[in-house]
Amino acid sequence: MKRVWHLPIRRKWLAHWLILPLWRVYDCLAPKSPQHWAFFVHPLKASQFVENSRALFEAVKADPAIHKRVFTRDLHADLRIEGACNTEVIDVQSLRGLAELARCGVYLLTNAIALDMSWRWPNGSFSVVKPSLRRRILINLWHGIPLKRLFALANPEQRQRADRVAFRRKERRHYHGLIASSDVDSYAMAAIFHPIDYERIWITGLPRNDFLRMPEQVLPHFLREEVEHIRRLKKNKRLVIYAPTFRETDLPGAGCYQFSEEQVRRLKELLRRNGAVLGFRMHYFRKGDQLFNLERYVDDESIIDLGHAVISEIAPVLREADLVLTDYSSVYIDALYLDRPVISFAYDLEHYRSKQNGLLYDMDIVFPGPVVTDFEALMLALEKELVEGDQVSCERYQICKKFFFNHLDDQNAQRVVERLRMLNTYEE
Same domain, 192 and 255: no
Span 373-389, average pLDDT: 96
In a domain, 4, yes or no: no
> How many residues appear in the chain?
428
Same domain, 194 and 250: no
Output the pLDDT for position 3.
41
Q: How far apart are CA 251 and CA 156, in angstroms?
A: 14
Same domain, 250 and 182: no
Cα-trace Rg, the chain: 22
Same domain, 301 and 417: no
Output the pLDDT for position 75.
95
Same domain, 67 and 150: yes
Q: Whole domain around residue 57: which residue ranges?
A: 11-210+410-427
How does pLDDT run across 166-210, given as a tens digit for each residue? 888 899 999 999 999 999 999 999 999 999 999 999 999 999 999
Paired residues of 323 in beta bridges: 240
DSSP track, 385-402: HHHH--STTSHHHHHHHH
pLDDT at residue 410 is higher than 90: yes
CB 343 within 8 A of CB 333: no
pLDDT at residue 212 is higher than 80: yes
Output the pLDDT for position 165.
72
Could you tell me which of 197, 425, 224 has the C-alpha nearest to residue 313? 224
How does pLDDT run across 249-290, given as a tens digit for each residue? 555 555 678 899 999 999 999 999 999 999 999 876 555 555
Output the pLDDT for position 5.
39
CB 114 within 8 A of CB 165: yes
In a domain, 3, yes or no: no
Q: Chain-wide mean pLDDT for the chain?
A: 90
pLDDT at residue 86 is higher than 60: yes
Q: Taking CA 163 as the corner, what is the angle to CA 143 and CA 26, rounded to the nearest 5 degrees?
A: 85
Count CB neighbours of 137 within 10 A.
Answer: 21
In a domain, 287, yes or no: yes
Could you tell me which of 163, 164, 174, 172 has the C-alpha nearest to residue 193? 172
Span 229-250, average pLDDT: 88
CATH of the domain at 180: 3.40.50.11820
How does pLDDT run across 1-53, given as a tens digit for each residue? 334 334 466 788 888 899 999 999 999 999 999 999 999 999 888 889 999 99
Q: How far apart are CA 116 and CA 42, in angstroms?
A: 8
Count Cβ atoms within 10 A of the Cβ of residue 216 and give its class: 0-12 exposed, 13-18 middle, 19 or more buried. exposed
Same domain, 335 and 389: yes
Same domain, 254 and 114: no
Stated pTM of the model? 0.91
Same domain, 55 and 138: yes
Same domain, 222 and 201: no
CB 327 within 8 A of CB 346: yes
Same domain, 258 and 392: yes
CATH of the domain at 257: 3.40.50.12580
- Rounded percentage of the chain residues whose pLDDT exceeds 70: 89
DSSP category for residue 309: T
In a domain, 29, yes or no: yes
CA–chain centroid gap for 28, Å, is 31
How does pLDDT run across 300-317, given as a tens digit for each residue? 999 999 998 899 999 999
Same domain, 19 and 43: yes
Same domain, 293 and 194: no
Phi, psi angle pair for 90, to nearest 5°: -130, 145
Which residues, other chains included, contact 378 with Cβ-Cβ below 8 Å and sequence gap of 6+? 325, 343, 345, 372
Could you tell me which of 417, 348, 326, 368 has the C-alpha nearest to residue 106? 417
In a domain, 57, yes or no: yes
Span 372-397, average pLDDT: 95
Determine which helix (DSSP H) or strand (DSSP E) holds 416, and give its type and residue range.
Answer: helix 412-427
Report in angstroms the alpha-carbon separations of 136 from 133, 177, 310: 7, 12, 37
In a domain, 136, yes or no: yes
In a domain, 243, yes or no: yes
In a domain, 1, yes or no: no
Q: How many domains are there within the chain?
A: 2
